[in-house]
Amino acid sequence: MSSNFEKLVGNHDILSLKELNVLPIFSESVIKFFSDLSGIILKDKNSQNFPDLMTFGFHIRKSNINIIRKNYSDIEKIAYGRGLAYHIGPSNVPMNFAFSLFYSLLAGNPTIVRLPSSNFPQIIHLINLINLTLDSTEHLSLRPYLSLVKFDKGTDLSAEISKLSEVRAVWGSDATVHEILSHSKRLKCKDLVFPARLSWSVISCKRILDHAEHLCDLANDFFNDTFSMDQNACSSPTQVFFLRDTHNVEKAKSLFWRAIKEKIISRKYEISSSVVMEREIASVRAVMTSGNTLIRRDYLPHFHVVVKDITASEAMKHSVGGGLFFENEIDTFKCLKGYLSDQVQTVTTHKQDVLSLRIQINEACPGQVDRVVQFGRALDFGPIWDGYDLVREMSHLKI
Partner 1 sequence: MNQSYVEYETILNSILAAESLYPTHHQKLDLTCKLTGYLDDWHFSNNSDYRNMVLSDGNNALGIRSFGIPVRLFKQRDLMSVSRNQIVKTMLSSGTTGQQKAKIYLDKNTARNQSLILSRIMSDLLGSKRLPMLIIDSERIAKDRTVFSARTAGIRGFSIFGKDVHFALRENLDFNKDVVVDFFTKYKDQPKLLFGFTFLIWQKFFKNIEKLEDTVNFEGSTILHGGGWKKIESEKISKNEFKKYFLDLSFKNVHDYYGMVEQTGSIFIECEKGYFHSNIFNNIKVIDPLNFKEKKYGEAGLVSLESIAPFSYPGHRILTEDIGMIIGEDTCSCGRGGKYFEINGRLPKSEIRGCSNVIQL
Per DSSP, the residues of 227-273 read GGGTT-STTSEEEEEEE--SS-HHHHHHHHHHHHHHHHHHTT----H
Our finding on whether 91 is near partner 1 (CB under 8 A) is yes
Return d(Cα 172, Cα 117) in angstroms, integer: 12
Which of 269/388 has CB closer to partner 1? 269
Return d(Cα 221, Cα 107) in angstroms, integer: 32
Our finding on whether 322 is near partner 1 (CB under 8 A) is yes
Return d(Cα 271, Cα 323) in angstroms, integer: 9
Helix (H, G, I), strand (E, B) or coil at 198: strand
Our finding on whether 160 is near partner 1 (CB under 8 A) is no
Return d(Cα 390, Cα 186) in angstroms, integer: 20
Return d(Cα 120, Cα 125) in angstroms, integer: 9
Q: Which of 17, 22, 93, 361 binds partner 1 (CB under 8 A)?
A: 93
* Phi, psi angle pair for 350, to nearest 5°: -65, 145
Do the Cβ atoms of 228 and 379 come closer than 8 Å? Answer: yes
The site that binds partner 1 (CB under 8 A) totals a number of residues, namely 53
Q: How far is the CB of 301 from partner 1 (least distance, A)?
A: 4
Our finding on whether 301 is near partner 1 (CB under 8 A) is yes
Our finding on whether 376 is near partner 1 (CB under 8 A) is no
Our finding on whether 232 is near partner 1 (CB under 8 A) is yes
Which of 189/275 has CB closer to partner 1? 275
Our finding on whether 199 is near partner 1 (CB under 8 A) is no
Our finding on whether 184 is near partner 1 (CB under 8 A) is no
Per DSSP, the residues of 41-84 read HHH-TGGGG-HHHHHHHHHTSHHHHHHHHHTTTTTTTTEEE-S-
Our finding on whether 42 is near partner 1 (CB under 8 A) is no
Which of 50/72 has CB closer to partner 1? 50
Our finding on whether 49 is near partner 1 (CB under 8 A) is yes
Among the listed residues 215, 112, 150, 196, the one whose alpha carbon sits nearest the alpha carbon of residue 1: 150
Our finding on whether 220 is near partner 1 (CB under 8 A) is yes
**Which positions ≥6 away from 83 have C-beta within 8 Å?**
18, 22, 109, 110, 165, 166, 167
Q: Which of 270, 331, 367, 399 binds partner 1 (CB under 8 A)?
A: 270
Which of 83/94 has CB closer to partner 1? 94
Q: How far is the CB of 95 from partner 1 (least distance, A)?
A: 8
Report, in angstroms and rounded to the nearest whole number, the Rg of the chain calculated over CA atoms.
22
Q: How far is the CB of 322 from partner 1 (least distance, A)?
A: 7
Our finding on whether 117 is near partner 1 (CB under 8 A) is no
Q: How far is the CB of 395 from partner 1 (least distance, A)?
A: 30
Our finding on whether 45 is near partner 1 (CB under 8 A) is no
Return d(Cα 167, Cα 85) in angstroms, integer: 4
Q: Which of 70, 184, 291, 366 binds partner 1 (CB under 8 A)?
A: 291
C-alpha 142: how far from chain center:
26
Q: How far is the CB of 228 from partner 1 (least distance, A)?
A: 5
Q: Which of 19, 138, 210, 298 binds partner 1 (CB under 8 A)?
A: 298
Return d(Cα 193, Cα 332) in angstroms, integer: 32
From the number of C-beta atoms within 10 Å of its C-beta (0-12, 13-18, 19+), residue 397 rates as exposed
Return the range that interacts with partner 1 (CB under 8 A); candidates 29-37, 189-197, 263-271, 346-354: 263-271
Q: Which of 136, 290, 332, 362 binds partner 1 (CB under 8 A)?
A: 290
Residues within the interface to partner 1 (CB under 8 A): 48-52, 54, 91-94, 118, 120-122, 220, 227-230, 232, 267-278, 280-281, 283-285, 287-291, 293-298, 300-301, 306, 321-322
